[in-house]
Amino acid sequence: MAKRILLAGVLGGLAMFLWSSIAHMGLGLGSLGIQDIPNEQAMMGAMKGNLPQSGFYFFPGLGVAPGASRTEKNAAMNIYQQKVANGPSGILVYHASGQKAISAGQLLTELGTNVVQALLAAILLAFAGLRSYGARVGFVALAGVMAGITTNISYWTWYGFPGSYTMGYALTEIAGYVCIGLVAAAIVKSKPVAVSARAA
């Protein structure tokens, strides 16, 4: 069974990786809701001058100093809520220096992640004890629904990610798990349970 699980993980991961490539580069599902920044050069010039370090930024900032008291934190939160209410606000993943848009390392990391996802799905499938092919595919697809909504809905709720981006990315992940299921369900099958008759 271990060899079947490993094979299902590798082939299922490849299937998910191929689907993700089609979804992002062919169908554009990964870029739904994303817009270009107007007057980009001026904005980038301002960021270069004011953000020398790469990082993950929230704005407006909370402005809470390390070691602040609870009273100071509460006061800072009240000010923060006012700033957010009056806008603008958002998050920024910022790379100060240049980098490749798509690199071999990124593709290999994505492929490796997909293989790990497929391996975990195959392990769960092996313990599920489902006899029919359709039930096994559905089991993995249901795992994909959980994976697809776990972070995407939270990012939409708390960070204001666009609804179209959220739906597009969640559906991409769910469909990726369906691809895993179609492959893994054909390889990882439950063995018949032997029932021994007890002597009367």
User: Is this model's pTM higher than 0.85 or not?
Assistant: no
Structure confidence by residue, pLDDT tens digits, 136-169: 999 999 999 999 999 999 999 998 899 999 999 9
Q: What is the rounded distance in angstroms from the CA atom of residue 124 to the CA atom of residue 105?
A: 29
Residue 190: band (very low, low, confident or very high) from pLDDT cuts 50, 70, 90: low
Say whether pLDDT at 96 is over 50.
Answer: yes
Q: What is the rounded distance in angstroms from the CA atom of residue 79 to the CA atom of residue 95?
A: 28
Q: What is the rounded distance in angstroms from the CA atom of residue 114 to the CA atom of residue 122?
A: 12
pLDDT at 192: 47
pLDDT at 119: 97
**How high is the mean pLDDT of the chain?**
89
Residue 18: band (very low, low, confident or very high) from pLDDT cuts 50, 70, 90: very high
Residue 1: band (very low, low, confident or very high) from pLDDT cuts 50, 70, 90: confident
Say whether pLDDT at 6 is over 50.
Answer: yes
Say whether pLDDT at 67 is over 90.
Answer: no
- When pLDDT is averaged across residues 112-124 and rounded to a whole number, the result is 96
Residue 155 tokens, joined: 């990012």
Query: Which candidate, 58, 37, 31, places its Cα nearest to that of 160?
Result: 58
Contact 9, 140 (CB under 8 A): no
The percent of residues above 90 in pLDDT, for the chain, comes to: 55
At position 92, the amino acid (one-letter code) is: L
Query: Which candidate, 177, 180, 167, places its Cα nearest to that of 29?
Result: 167
Query: Which candidate, 105, 7, 96, places its Cα nearest to that of 51?
Result: 96
At position 82, the amino acid (one-letter code) is: Q
Give the side-chain half-sphere CA count within 13 A for 34. 8
Query: Which candidate, 147, 152, 149, places its Cα nearest to that of 162?
Result: 152
Give the side-chain half-sphere CA count within 13 A for 191. 5
pLDDT at 174: 96
Q: How many helices (H) and strands (E) does the chain have?
A: 7, 2
Residue 111 tokens, joined: 């492929």
